Amino acid sequence: MAPAPRFALGHAAGSDGAAAAIAALRGSPTAPPSANLGFVYTSQEAAGELPNILKILKRESGIKDWVGAAGIGLCATGTEYFRRPAVATLIGAFADDTFRVVDSDKQKTWKKLHPGPADEPAFGIVHGDPSGSDILQLVPTFAEATNSFLVGGLTSPEVGHGQVAGGVTSGGLSGVLFASSVAVATGLSQGCSPIGPIRRVTEAHRNVAIKIDGKPAYDVFLEDIGPELATNLRRAAGRIFVAFPVRGSDRNDYVVRNIVGIDPERKLVGIGDLLEDGQPVMFCRRDVETARTDLRRMLGDLRKRTKKEAKGAIYCSCVARGPHLFDEQEEMAMIAEELGEVPLVGFYGSGEISHNRLYTQTGVLSLFL
């Protein structure tokens, strides 16, 4: 049996979304004859044209099944696009019975959409609406209902209808599920590093930490961030976050949440997630050198695990990464340097999905093998 062909990659910026979509398709190599699934990502500057962009893609490619999202920025092999209309496409060929497109407004049918044997885990690439109040609960609910390992991310919060799943949609989660016969490998790279020990929330009210390790939460916060930042809390804004270690894992797997407020008088720390008494927690710092090291670690690990060239790739990264953390174009250049010119598309969003959790400050890379 001949090896599966590489996916067809196209990407371009333009005067508007339609021009970018046409340029992306024209710059793409010929798709495999059996191509039947396309991924499309746009920058938020082109998101208002998503219905027309999708119409162009379906007409020009002959492919009816498309999934994707509008990001704050988007990426393709070796390239990042921000602050201008841009479109990236990736077209692949799959056996018809190995994938199912999932629309965000059909939650009641999720269990029926599992491709392949129900007792075998599926793999899903999904996109979510960051404005939904239930998005944190929706990700694990979707993963359990479909018996899937999920990857993906949240769209730009500036976009009302920023998801593509057959057509343009919004709200909840949408994307595509693949049967276990579709070979994939995934990796997650953190953008923050722990700066203190793993501690325990010992008293909390909703998202406000009152005591950590039996001491006022604010005092523990100052202790862990160190005297340099403790004497200038304005410098800590955007640099210091809270991390929740994943239960049963080590310090290398954790979800990061924003610090949404501090109260020095009452010694409280507000966190961008609900808290539970006894919950493990640690403070962490956004650090470019650590992020570079961890991205290289993740890429090296993927290369060792796969031991062959990928046919295509999807990358979902946090908007706080890209040029807001690394040098301009550096993140995509690092991936290309480690993995070669693998056809890759993806986006920079407001949250990343891996397994059954919503992360921030991370990059999630998935390879089709």
Domain boundary pick from 265, 286, 307: 286
Q: Residue 3: is it exposed, middle or buried by C-beta count within 10 angstroms (0-12/13-18/19+)?
A: exposed
Which of these ranges, 118-132, 240-254, 302-316, 350-364, has the smallest mean pLDDT?
Answer: 240-254
Q: Which of 55, 12, 13, 5 is nearest to 30 (CA)?
A: 5
Looking at the fold, whether 311 and 178 belong to one and the same domain comes out as yes
Identify which has the larger pLDDT, 2 or 89: 89
Whether 3 maps to a domain, the answer reads no
Position 114 scores a pLDDT of: 59
Looking at the fold, whether 179 and 114 belong to one and the same domain comes out as yes
Residue pair 169/69 in contact (Cβ under 8 Å)? The answer is no
Q: Residue 91: is it exposed, middle or buried by C-beta count within 10 angstroms (0-12/13-18/19+)?
A: buried
Domain boundary pick from 233, 255, 286: 286
Whether 2 maps to a domain, the answer reads no
Looking at the fold, whether 282 and 321 belong to one and the same domain comes out as no
Looking at the fold, whether 208 and 221 belong to one and the same domain comes out as yes
Whether 278 maps to a domain, the answer reads yes
Quickly state the pLDDT bin for 237 (edges 50, 70, 90): confident
Q: Which domain holds residue 246?
A: 192-286
Looking at the fold, whether 111 and 260 belong to one and the same domain comes out as no
Start-end of H helices in the chain:
17-26, 50-61, 135-146, 217-225, 227-230, 233-236, 288-306, 330-339
Residue 251 has pLDDT above 70, yes or no: no
* Torsion-angle region of 214 (φ positive above 0: left; ψ -120 to 50: alpha; else: beta): left
What DSSP string describes 50-119?
Answer: HHHHHHHHHHHH----EEEEEESEEEETTEEEESS-EEEEEEE---GGGEEEE-TT-GGGGGGG--S-TT
Position 280 scores a pLDDT of: 92
Structure letter (DSSP) for residue 341: S
Residue 360 has pLDDT above 60, yes or no: yes
Which of these ranges, 129-138, 148-157, 167-176, has the smallest mean pLDDT?
Answer: 129-138
Looking at the fold, whether 227 and 127 belong to one and the same domain comes out as no
pTM, two decimal places: 0.88
Average pLDDT of the segment spanning 189-200 = 89
Residue 302 has pLDDT above 70, yes or no: yes
Residue 354, φ and ψ in degrees, nearest 5: -145, 130
Looking at the fold, whether 115 and 238 belong to one and the same domain comes out as no
* Torsion-angle region of 68 (φ positive above 0: left; ψ -120 to 50: alpha; else: beta): left
Alpha carbon distance 344, 337 (integer Å): 13
Residue pair 366/186 in contact (Cβ under 8 Å)? The answer is yes
Residue 18 has pLDDT above 70, yes or no: yes
Quickly state the pLDDT bin for 2 (edges 50, 70, 90): very low
Quickly state the pLDDT bin for 113 (edges 50, 70, 90): low
Position 39 scores a pLDDT of: 97
Residue 104 has pLDDT above 80, yes or no: no
Looking at the fold, whether 68 and 152 belong to one and the same domain comes out as yes
- pLDDT over 70, % of the chain: 93
Whether 1 maps to a domain, the answer reads no
Position 106 scores a pLDDT of: 57
CB proximity list for 130: less than 8 A, separation 6 or greater: 154, 155, 156, 157, 349, 350, 351
Whether 359 maps to a domain, the answer reads yes
Q: Residue 265: is it exposed, middle or buried by C-beta count within 10 angstroms (0-12/13-18/19+)?
A: exposed
Looking at the fold, whether 53 and 143 belong to one and the same domain comes out as yes
| Total number of domains in the chain | 2
Average pLDDT of the segment spanning 71-76 = 95
Quickly state the pLDDT bin for 248 (edges 50, 70, 90): low
CA angle 62, 64, 70 (to 5 degrees): 110
Q: Which of 110, 101, 96 is nearest to 182 (CA)?
A: 96
Position 105 scores a pLDDT of: 58
Identify which has the larger pLDDT, 295 or 136: 295
Looking at the fold, whether 155 and 303 belong to one and the same domain comes out as yes
Alpha carbon distance 140, 358 (integer Å): 9
Looking at the fold, whether 304 and 258 belong to one and the same domain comes out as no
Alpha carbon distance 313, 343 (integer Å): 6
Looking at the fold, whether 296 and 317 belong to one and the same domain comes out as yes
On average, the pLDDT of the chain sits at 88
Whether 101 maps to a domain, the answer reads yes
Domain of residue 228, CATH code: 2.40.30
Whether 30 maps to a domain, the answer reads yes
Domain boundary pick from 259, 286, 313: 286
Residue 109 has pLDDT above 60, yes or no: no
Quickly state the pLDDT bin for 1 (edges 50, 70, 90): very low
Residue pair 271/259 in contact (Cβ under 8 Å)? The answer is yes
Residue pair 241/229 in contact (Cβ under 8 Å)? The answer is no
